[in-house]
Amino acid sequence: MSKELKKTSYDQLKTKGTGDIIIGKAKGHNHIVYPFGKYEVTVELSPDNKFIGISEIKVNKDFRSYKQRIVSKGFHDVDEFYKE
């Protein structure tokens, strides 16, 4: 078997195979991480944003709430627009 053929087969296996690990690595697919309670769920979407499946679920190690995380980023500096 030539080296090129070997590589093609491997690429096909990576992109067209089924199974959890392979789905998560499909080329051109989008992966979006959603916080869900204390977990982070990675959702896989096709290039046209159709739901394909869940590719990963892991424990969210940042135990701050969504609200606590966004406020710690800062706030809108708007004083210049609301002077009396």
Partner 1 sequence: MFYASQVSNALRFGDVLKGFFSTTPVVKEPPLSSDLKNCSIDVYLPKFSVVMDPCCQIGNQSISLTPLLPIKKSFFANSYLAEDLTRLNRIMTPQQAVPPEAWAEMTPEKKQERLEIGDTYASVRLFIYEKHDLLPEYTIHVGTDDIETNYYMIDFRNTHKLSCNEIITAEKAPLELKVLELSVETRQELRDKVSSYYAAVPKEDEIAE
Residues that bind partner 1 (CB under 8 A): 67-68, 70-76, 78-79, 81-84
Largest distance between two CA atoms of the chain: 79
51 vs 81, which CB is nearer to partner 1? Answer: 81
21 vs 71, which CB is nearer to partner 1? Answer: 71
51 CB-near residues (< 8 Å, 6+ apart): 43, 44, 45
Q: How far is the CB of 79 from partner 1 (least distance, A)?
A: 8
Q: How far is the CB of 61 from partner 1 (least distance, A)?
A: 15
49 vs 72, which CB is nearer to partner 1? Answer: 72
Q: How far is the CB of 65 from partner 1 (least distance, A)?
A: 10
CA 60 to CA 31: how far, in whole Å?
16
Phi/psi of residue 39, nearest 5 degrees? -110, 160
Amino acid (one-letter) located at 72: S
